[in-house]
Amino acid sequence: MHGWVIYNGHLQSEAFLTFSQWIHDAGKKLGITIEQRKNNELFVLLEQDKPLMDTLNYQHNPDFVIFIDKDIALAKQLEAIGIPVFNSAQAIATCDNKVDMYPVLHQANIAIPRTVIAPKIFSKANPIQLSSFHYLEDIFTYPFIIKEGYGSYGQQVYLIHNRKELDEKIKEIADRPFLFQEFIGSSCGRDLRIYVVGNEVVAGLARTAQDDFRANVSVGGTVKAHLATEKEKKLAIDAAQAVGADFAGVDLLYDENEEPIVCEVNTSAHIKNIYDYTGVNIAEHIMTWTIRKLKS
Ligand SMILES: Nc1ncnc2c1ncn2[C@@H]1O[C@H](COP(=O)(O)OP(=O)(O)O)[C@@H](O)[C@H]1O
Ligand SMILES: [Mg+2]
């Protein structure tokens, strides 16, 4: 068997290079060759009467692809020519945009914070009708959360304390998808990152921030290994499966009764920090799962 791992060639991020390398190494351990490919070196020409991917000069197409990037269009085209892609284009797309993700989780009856998706505003809309957004004050009490659809590392998640901040933030991000969400105060500055591969939890981290409501390491959170409870495991697995992910980092919050609820599902969650804190090599789990799935 011969596979590819695809990462983003324009993101010179150590974390993704490591992810890609570890997938390669995990394949080798199982006797499988895995080529590391950059998305920006895979050009797909759509030309009448020619098959997809004809231009690529491949010796042969891979038997499968481990897709750790978010280039959904590329993932779709690989699937279109019959190559199994892990995570699938659909799973990546669902998790890429939180505006798509929360309705999918809700439909699968997964516990999430109360959420309202913002109606679409065209970028040229001027002025924005802010008054209609004030109905949110009947649904949520301040402070509540605004989250952009596309975002990571906590950078596009905002805590809104009053109407002035509400109006300002809406004006600032109006041309992008976003949503409103109840602030889970009992989870302020703490959450769990549970890593699911296939139908099991393989590792967990507890993250805590002293000076921020967000627990992301990138905004100053500290981390320790966390042994997930049965309840946390079930919820994380259910959430990963609801979005169709083969592997995912599922963020959990604690509600006021210390029960877990899902904050989000990440299809390309970093794996090195998990290894640093738990000794678990997620890449090896991903490869074992992938091969098992391909064979079944
Ligand atoms: N509804 C919420 N209530 C309380 N804290 C939240 C809520 N949503 C997010 N957070 C905090 O903000 C962090 C970032 O939010 P998240 O949705 O995971 O976005 P990102 O993709 O940027 O990580 C979470 O890890 C959590 O600590
Ligand atoms: Mg997160």
Out of 102, 136, 214, 252, mutate this one to test ligand 1's pocket (max ligand atoms within 8 Å of CB): namely 214
- Which ligand 1 atom is at minimum distance from the Cα of 153? 22
**Which residues of the chain are in CATH 3.30.1490.20 domains?**
115-183
Q: Which residues pair with 191 in a beta bridge?
A: 207
116 C-alpha to ligand 1 centroid (Å): 15
Q: Ligand 1: does its nearest atom lie under 6 Å from the Cβ of 181?
A: yes
Q: Rounded to whole angstroms, what are the CA distances from 123 to 37, 119, 126, 127, 175?
A: 35, 13, 8, 10, 5
How wide is the angle at C-alpha 294 spanned by C-alphas 287 and 197, nearest 5°?
A: 40
* Averaged pLDDT for residues 237-259: 98
**Can you spell out the DSSP letters for 138-163?**
HH-PSSEEEEESS--TTTTEEEE-SH
Asked if 175 and 121 count as a contact pair (C-beta separation under 8 A), the reply is yes
Nearest alpha carbon to residue 187 among 157, 156, 150, 227: 157
Q: Ligand 1: does its nearest atom lie under 6 Å from the Cβ of 151?
A: yes
Q: Ligand 1: does its nearest atom lie under 6 Å from the Cβ of 186?
A: no
Q: State phi, psi for 218 to the nearest 5 degrees.
A: -70, -15
User: What is the tens place of the pLDDT at every residue in 171-198?
Assistant: 999 999 999 999 999 999 999 999 999 9
- Which ligand 1 atom is at minimum distance from the Cα of 266? 21
Q: Ligand 1: does its nearest atom lie under 6 Å from the Cβ of 39?
A: no
Helices 89-96 and 72-80, interaxial angle, to 10°? 160
- 211 vs 53: which has the higher pLDDT: 211
pLDDT of residue 109: 98
Asked if 74 and 7 count as a contact pair (C-beta separation under 8 A), the reply is no
Between 3.40.50.1370, 3.40.50.850, 3.40.50.20, 3.30.43.10, what CATH number should domain 2-89 receive? 3.40.50.20
pLDDT of residue 51: 72
User: What is the tens place of the pLDDT at every residue in 162-171?
Assistant: 999 999 999 9
Q: Ligand 1: does its nearest atom lie under 6 Å from the Cβ of 148?
A: no
Using the predicted structure, report yes or no on whether residue 54 has a pLDDT greater than 60.
Answer: no
Q: What homologous superfamily does CATH list for 115-183?
A: ATP-grasp fold, A domain (3.30.1490.20)
Residues with CB under 5 A from ligand 2 (ion): 251, 264
Using the predicted structure, report yes or no on whether residue 1 has a pLDDT greater than 80.
Answer: yes
* Averaged pLDDT for residues 67-94: 95
Nearest alpha carbon to residue 283 among 2, 16, 70, 13: 16
Asked if 38 and 8 count as a contact pair (C-beta separation under 8 A), the reply is yes
* Averaged pLDDT for residues 235-250: 98
Range in 36-40, 53-57, 98-102, 121-125 with the lowest mean pLDDT: 53-57
Q: Ligand 1: does its nearest atom lie under 6 Å from the Cβ of 213?
A: yes
Using the predicted structure, report yes or no on whether residue 59 has a pLDDT greater than 90.
Answer: no
**Which residues of the chain are in CATH 3.30.470.20 domains?**
94-111+186-280
Using the predicted structure, report yes or no on whether residue 292 has a pLDDT greater than 80.
Answer: yes
Say which CATH topology domain 94-111+186-280 has. D-amino Acid Aminotransferase; Chain A, domain 1 (3.30.470)
Nearest alpha carbon to residue 153 among 15, 8, 10: 15
Q: Ligand 1: does its nearest atom lie under 6 Å from the Cβ of 145?
A: yes
pLDDT of residue 139: 97
pLDDT of residue 50: 76
Q: Whose CA is nearest to atom 24 of ligand 1?
A: 214
Using the predicted structure, report yes or no on whether residue 92 has a pLDDT greater than 80.
Answer: yes
Q: Ligand 1: does its nearest atom lie under 6 Å from the Cβ of 113?
A: yes
pLDDT of residue 88: 98
**Which residues of the chain are in CATH 3.40.50.20 domains?**
2-89
User: What is the tens place of the pLDDT at every residue in 112-164?
Assistant: 999 999 999 887 777 889 999 999 999 999 999 999 999 999 999 999 999 99
Out of 157, 183, 191, 194, mutate this one to test ligand 1's pocket (max ligand atoms within 8 Å of CB): namely 157
Using the predicted structure, report yes or no on whether residue 44 has a pLDDT greater than 90.
Answer: no
